[in-house]
Amino acid sequence: MEHRPIGSLSVSIVGLGCNNFGGRMDAAATASVVTSALDAGIDFFDTADVYGGGLSEEYLGKALGARRSEAVIATKFGAPNSAKQGMPRGGAAWIEVAVERSLRRLGTDYIDHYQLHFPDADVPIEETLRALEALVKAGKVREIGCSNFGSTRLYEADQVAKEKSLAPFRTVQNRYSVLHREPEPKVVPACRELGIGLIPYFPLESGLLSGKYRQGQPLPEGTRLAAFPEGQRERFTGGDNMQRVEKLHAYAESKGYGLLDLAVSWLTSNPVVTSVIAGATRPQQVAANAAACGWRMTEEDRQEIDRLLA
């Protein structure tokens, strides 16, 4: 498994998204998936304090147990409505509370990568960065990142970090996939210029790019998309997405691969991408995700895929 840097950290290019832990998965299922991930060479685990109402962090910490040192734990704070009343979610006071709660749930004394989940327009970015700098100096956090930031906020945060000699954001975590290209015009160039890694969330578009869904066929029972309310499901299956999925299926098969391989390898072939944090609910899915980065996609492949989707 190839590794890429997050500042001083080194993480597997395929990670494990942990948003199902504590929701669709109980502690036993979580432990099985986490163990399978470590055994497959996946060492990057991305969670958040709001996933599963806090159970995701708790289950992840218990699942890692004595293997904590083999893992790079990334978690997030500052989602909407996550802070105590009267505490801005990006402010220093809440960060001090939130990190202690995450450390306790994870059962560890340090967080490898701590990320601001959403921008907080009510708090100057300098206050957020100073609070995170204090955590780095205290040894409670090793590197920091952000999520759902546009390019303007990335440039601002980087400038403040440089001017005030504060720890910079090493990554930004935004929605990005072969079907969802919103970061490409501005965020990807900003990442390239600033040396910030991009961690795509929804890299498989909630399973749409896993290979399980075909145009004109019913959604398989028990799958994530099948369980979504219709309005939420349309976010992924709507428009011409199913037609585009069929084109990608055909292209992947013409190269001897599956759609999952295409979705993961398309992302990992972009050097600005740090790790593809695909979710999994079963060990078999973990193994498939880990193997999916085996396609060494060329620039010609990427250009042909762009032509297919144009």
Q: What is the pLDDT of residues 249-261, one digit of tens each?
A: 999 999 999 999 9
The three state secondary structure string of the chain is CCEEEECCEEEECEEEECCCECCCECHHHHHHHHHHHHHCCCCEEECCCCHHHHHHHHHHHHHHHHHHHHCEEEEEECCCCCCCCCCCCCCHHHHHHHHHHHHHHHCCCCEEEEEECCCCCCCCHHHHHHHHHHHHHCCCEEEEEEECCCHHHHHHHHHHHHHHCCCCEEEEEEECCCCCCCCCCCHHHHHHHHCCEEEEECCCCCCCCCCCCCCCCCCCCCCHHHHCCHHHHHHHHCCCHHHHHHHHHHHHHHCCCCHHHHHHHHHHCCCCECCEEEECCCHHHHHHHHHHHHCCCCHHHHHHHHHHHC
In angstroms, rounded to a whole number, what is the distance separating the alpha carbons of residues 107 and 64? Answer: 9
Residue 210 reports pLDDT greater than 90:
no
Residue 221 reports pLDDT greater than 80:
no
> What pLDDT is stored for residue 265 in this prediction?
97
- When pLDDT is cut at 50, 70 and 90, the band that residue 206 belongs to is confident
Token pair for 129 = 């960065």
Catalytic residues: 51
User: What class has domain 3-208+260-297?
Assistant: alpha beta
- When pLDDT is cut at 50, 70 and 90, the band that residue 229 belongs to is low
Please report, for the chain, the start and end positions of each structural domain, with discontinuous segments joined by +.
Answer: 3-208+260-297
- pTM of model > 0.85: yes
Measured over the CA atoms of residue 19, residue 58, residue 99 and residue 95, the dihedral's sign is positive
> What pLDDT is stored for residue 130 in this prediction?
98
Q: What is the pLDDT of residues 12-64, one digit of tens each?
A: 999 999 999 999 999 999 999 999 999 999 999 999 999 999 999 999 999 99
In angstroms, rounded to a whole number, what is the distance separating the alpha carbons of residues 147 and 150? Answer: 9
- Backbone angles phi and psi of 282, in degrees to 5: -140, 150
